[in-house]
Amino acid sequence: MTTEKIDTSASMDIDEIISNPKFSVNVLQLLKSSQMQHGLRFSDYTRYRRYCSARLRRLYKSLKFTHGRGKYAKRSITASTVTEVRFLHLVLYTAERAWSHAMEKKQLPDGPNARQRSYLIGRLRKAVNWATLFSELCAIKGDSRTSLEAEAYASYMKGNLLFEQDQNLDVALKSFKSARVVYEELGKYGDLENQVLCRERVEELEPHIRYCSHKIGESNLQASELAHIGEIEGPALDLFKSKLEAVMAEARSQQAASMTEFHWLGHRFPISNAKTRVAILKAQDMEKELQDRMEGTLPAEKRLAVFDKIFAAYHEARASIRNDLATAGNSENIKDDLSGLDKAIGAVLGQRTIERNQLLVSIAKSKLNKSRDEKNEKVTKPEELVRLYDLLLQNTADLSDLLSSGRDRKEEEVALSEECEVKSKAFRAERCFFLAKSYSSAGKRTEAYSLFSLSRSLAETALKNLKSLANHDQVMIKELQTLYNDCRSNICIEHAMGIMEYEKAPEDLSKKISNVSISGSDKKPEKFLIEKLGSYESAVGDSSTKVAPRIAAYQPAFQPIPRNPIVLDLAYNSIDFPSIENRMKKDKKGFISRFWG
């Protein structure tokens, strides 16, 4: 080949590259940042949909790609239209807007009705169409990585549509698997942030794949085991979790058909209402999950969320029972059974409430001695633990009142009532300890010393009563022993601190007195408001400062004043005064006095 031909071919390649540039879009990173910053961190799809709409409006205006001012004239996006990367963003955010609108309908409080579900499917279908167009445009106008990410995004959207329709799950399974393969490969390259995002997306796709495999018979998973799949958090799992709830509800309905009685502390209460049975089974399933994973494998925040679901299920069961009581008529036996069942569920609710508040106490205690967590969480104050123990005391009192309200009390009820009394004593000792802590932090040594002593005696009494129970709680025994030792050490500390403060009191008082200034001059003397009434200057200060407003001095400062003149009479001794005897009154004498005068 001649030199002229080589130069010609090279120039043609350069012209082709310039005329057909390859755009690069980091799809997953772009979407994740947009979702986390605009609502999906808290599953707020309405906010994210509005953001997508605003973003599309800005893109249309900046690209001058509007659809007419008066009459709408559709302008389609083709490969020849894409002259810069923002056209690809336009297609991508249109797909995201349709998807978020569908998920918004999915999260309605009572679930979508038939009309809303039809609209939801239509929005998901539009999201698939726009995602497919995005994949086709990226295959022509994007680089190889962008094309792969766009293909995985389109496969994920197609799988979501089939997953929601509950049709062609084998095709949905293939779509999810193809997306997973792409993200697994992309996660091996690039920077660390990209690798983490790809790994998270693979973990989010795994529950969809396992669910589809279970539904088409390729997996031996049981319906009860599906609940452990969706523990990963993320926007991609919200659709899966709603589907999982429907599957679990169906499984509980089948299981509820064989449930005829509710067992509680030696009592057996018949259950005739299917809705009540399903609600009780739902609560019992979550209680088993909580009990199996209580040993630290489940974080405290997730355990609190499970407790909330248990409360919701039991409240639903009680509402159904009370509806049955209202429609029971005059049948005394049915009313007694329903009242007993309502009491039993109320007692279980009381026990779970105590367990949840104890979990809150353990979380608060873990943050009590920390100055500041890495996550900038608030540090627990002793007053907050006092409030939590007040709640626990109220919970145990309510449960004791409920257990003592029946006529035919069995041994199990009496034992539970005694356990509540012992727990109440232990909670009172703990409350007294943290109340003493709050007094100690305020510098009130006498009150803190007295409260620590009282807490120690209460802990000792509760420890003896707890050991006398047949089924004593080892964890609570260890906590009470630790509390007893802590009370003893804090008593010694408060005693020593009190003696030190008493010994240092005269010295501190003398220092304070020596620093007292009669003139009251500060380092930066400022005039008071009463001294500058003629000028418009603020005497209150800025709202951000904590300096007291300078209105007038109190007490008023000492001022020099003139005193009365001193008169010294120096001329008195040198003056000769005239005689005034002739002016003085003479005494008159009688006739006889003349002879002795």
pLDDT per residue as tens digits for the range 410-429: 788 888 888 889 999 999 99
102 near 74, Cβ under 8 Å? no
Whether residues 465 and 320 fall in one domain = no
What is the CATH number for 429? 1.20.58
Q: Quick one: how far is CA 414 from the chain centroid?
A: 38
Residue partners of 185: CB distance under 8 A and separation at least 6: 148
Whether residues 194 and 245 fall in one domain = yes
Whether residues 152 and 44 fall in one domain = yes
End position of a domain, from candidates 476, 509, 542: 509
Whether residues 123 and 214 fall in one domain = yes
| 502 in a structural domain | yes
Where residue 590 falls among pLDDT bands split at 50, 70, 90? low
Whether residues 460 and 345 fall in one domain = no
pLDDT in tens, 255-293: 555 677 888 887 888 888 888 888 888 888 888 877 765
Higher pLDDT, 139 or 107: 139
| 542 in a structural domain | no
Where residue 163 falls among pLDDT bands split at 50, 70, 90? confident
Whether residues 38 and 153 fall in one domain = yes
| 579 in a structural domain | no
Tell me the mean pLDDT in the region 79-97.
93
| 186 in a structural domain | yes
| Percent share of the chain, pLDDT over 70 | 80
Min mean pLDDT across 53-57, 107-111, 240-244, 555-559 is at: 240-244
Where residue 230 falls among pLDDT bands split at 50, 70, 90? very low
Written as six digits, the tokens of 69 are 């001012």
Range of the domain at 215: 27-67+75-219+233-258
- Does residue 16 register a pLDDT over 70? no
End position of a domain, from candidates 354, 371, 388: 371
Identity at 190, one-letter amino acid code: G
- Does residue 330 register a pLDDT over 90? no
| 431 in a structural domain | yes
Rg (CA), the chain: 43
157 near 99, Cβ under 8 Å? yes
Measured between alpha carbons, how far is 58 from 554 in angstroms, rounded to an integer? 62
Tell me the mean pLDDT in the region 360-386.
75
| 169 in a structural domain | yes
Number of domains in the chain: 3
Where residue 541 falls among pLDDT bands split at 50, 70, 90? low
pLDDT in tens, 308-326: 888 988 998 888 888 888 8
Q: Taking Cα atoms as reference points, which of 293, 139, 322, 318 lies closest to residue 231? A: 293
- Does residue 157 register a pLDDT over 50? yes
Where residue 454 falls among pLDDT bands split at 50, 70, 90? very high
Q: How long, in residues, is the chain?
A: 597
Measured between alpha carbons, how far is 241 from 190 in angstroms, rounded to an integer? 31
| 283 in a structural domain | yes
- What does pLDDT average to over the chain? 80
Neighbours of 184 (CB within 10 A): 14
Tell me the mean pLDDT in the region 374-389.
79
279 by Cβ neighbours in 10 Å (0-12 / 13-18 / 19+) ranks as: buried
Query: Tell me, what's the pLDDT at 291?
Result: 74
Dihedral sign of CA atoms 70, 71, 74, 80 in order: negative
Write down the pTM of the prediction: 0.57
Query: Tell me, what's the pLDDT at 354?
Result: 92
Q: Quick one: how far is CA 366 from the chain centroid?
A: 16
Tell me the mean pLDDT in the region 64-80.
83
| 192 in a structural domain | yes
